[in-house]
């Protein structure tokens, strides 16, 4: 049987024994264990390395899995593993079995492989400890604490509910818009045909490039950078409804971090001259910096107004190196362009922003990053979730095709 990324069931092809004792041999303890290991899909075991296809700008996560074998988590577990690998994670991932058997196997991370080896040689967990824990679950105090916890979560949810009018972010697509978006993503035509050209930035998006906005697609540089240009134009067009923001493209951070020591201000010094921008960064409320972590899109924000540095990751991770580098950058930038000194030591750093929505699959990180920028550039709360991503993908196609962000 062919395998696709190790997610098909792999049964050993052996002839049945001639003595007709297949049934007895199957239920022999050693044979039974061997049969189960053969029958279990390999997705329950250490995950494969990052596929070569991930290097493509329009990599389709859905096509990485064979038909019908997409995990229930939408590839989130596999994607987390790729992100960990790309960030040089050095932990040991092992498959563990629970009481229900291999079908409910889970993955856990062991930071110290030596400790894991020692634990594996210790005696099994006594049965009475499991029984004691089960008995403790009926304790009334634990039930009261559970009720209190739920109450606190409800209060927190109420506090997080938006007090702004967010209707402009969720305008339904018309039937005509739906048809045009569908024809763009799935219609016939040469994949190299240029669908839109943004003259000011000279960014062009072909049919092949825009197809990254299909479900399961990984967003590419062209689509992200063009949408950022549209957000910039929206801010100029509607200044009363937007903050004064600067949107760096996806190449800025790569260029800034390309030096021998991981930092090179000279390489980006000419990106922000007053002649090019018509303003200086010190005049902005927020500065948005897309960060590509090999296979994962994140967002860094230099909040000049609030004097904070923020890092938003739709997987809930952080990278202090990014904020340290941007802190150094903004000090040099303001000194160079405005001849002013900034005391960055008094600024607040938010390496993990607890209010940002998180993705629940392995392919929507780029869309989450764009919507972080979209909402925060308007000064509103991040009041969206995974359930809105399909709509946001279609809406982004519509806005790109008409070269105007709503």
Please answer whether residues 385 and 357 qualify as being in contact, where contact means their C-beta atoms are separated by less than 8 angstroms. yes
Q: How many beta carbons lie within 10 A of that of residue 70, not counting itself?
A: 17
Strands (E), 111-250: 194-198, 203-206, 245-247
d(CA 108, CA 110): 7
Sheet holding 245-247, edge to edge: 245-247, 286-292, 297-303, 308-312, 348-350
**Nearest Cα to Cα of residue 257 among 308, 327, 334, 322:** 322
For the chain, the 3-state helix, strand and coil shares in percent, each to the nearest 5, are: 45, 15, 40
Q: Which residue has the tokens 């801010």?
A: 235
Which one from 221, 245, 365, 374 is the annotated catalytic residue?
365
Assigned token pair, 258: 């390309």
Continuous H helices in 161-277: 175-186, 207-210, 221-237, 252-256, 274-277
Structure token pair of residue 383:
């009041």
Selecting among 81, 84, 221, 313, the annotated active-site residue is 313
Helix (H, G, I), strand (E, B) or coil at 85: helix
Instruction: For residues 120 and 187, give the distance between their C-alpha atoms in angstroms, rounded to a whole number.
Output: 55
157 is catalytic: no
216 is catalytic: no
Round to whole Å and give the CA distance between 399 and 169: 12
Q: Of 296, 298, 364, 374, which residue is the catalytic one?
A: 296
Is 296 annotated in the active site?
A: yes
Residue that has been written with the tokens 């110290």 in this structure: 112
Measured between alpha carbons, how far is 149 from 142 in angstroms, rounded to an integer? 10
Instruction: Tell me the catalytic residues.
Output: 296, 313, 365
């Amino acid at each position: 049987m062919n395998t696709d990324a190790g997610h098909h069931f792999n049964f050993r092809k052996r002839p049945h024994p001639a003595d007709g004792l297949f049934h007895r041999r199957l239920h022999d303890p050693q044979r039974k264990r061997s049969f189960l290991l053969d029958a279990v899909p390999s997705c329950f075991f250490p995950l494969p390395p990052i596929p070569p296809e991930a290097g493509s700008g329009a990599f389709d996560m859905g096509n990485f899995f064979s038909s019908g074998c997409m995990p229930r988590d939408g590839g989130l577990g596999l994607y987390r593993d790729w992100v960990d690998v790309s960030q040089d994670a050095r932990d040991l991932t092992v498959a563990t079995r629970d009481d229900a058997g291999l079908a409910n196997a889970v993955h856990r991370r062991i930071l110290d492989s030596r400790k894991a080896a020692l634990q594996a040689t210790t005696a099994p967990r006594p049965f009475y400890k499991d029984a004691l824990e089960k008995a403790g679950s009926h304790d009334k105090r634990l039930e009261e604490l559970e009720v209190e916890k739920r109450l606190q979560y409800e209060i927190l949810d109420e506090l997080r509910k938006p007090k702004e009018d967010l209707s402009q972010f969720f305008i339904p697509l018309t039937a005509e818009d739906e048809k045009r978006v569908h024809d763009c993503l799935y219609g016939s035509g040469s994949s190299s045909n240029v669908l839109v050209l943004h003259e000011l930035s000279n960014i062009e998006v072909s049919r092949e490039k825009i197809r990254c906005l299909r479900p399961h697609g990984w967003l590419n540089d062209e689509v992200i950078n063009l949408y950022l240009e549209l957000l910039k134009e929206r801010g100029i067009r509607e200044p009363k409804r937007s903050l004064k923001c600067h949107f760096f493209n996806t190449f800025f951070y790569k260029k800034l971090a390309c030096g021998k020591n991981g930092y090179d201000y000279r390489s980006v010094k000419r990106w922000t001259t007053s002649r090019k921008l018509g303003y200086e960064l010190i005049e902005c409320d927020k500065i948005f910096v897309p960060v590509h972590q090999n296979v994962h899109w994140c967002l860094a924000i230099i909040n000049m107004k609030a004097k904070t540095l923020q890092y938003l990751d739709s997987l809930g991770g952080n990278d202090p190196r990014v904020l340290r580098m941007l802190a150094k950058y903004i000090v040099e930038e303001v000194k160079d362009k405005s001849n002013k000194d900034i005391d960055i030591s008094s600024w607040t750093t938010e390496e993990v922003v607890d209010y940002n929505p998180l993705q629940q699959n392995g392919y929507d990180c780029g869309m989450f990053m764009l919507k972080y920028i979209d909402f925060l550039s308007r000064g509103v709360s991040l009041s969206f979730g995974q359930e809105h991503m399909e709509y946001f993908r279609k809406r982004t196609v519509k806005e790109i095709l008409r070269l105007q962000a709503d």
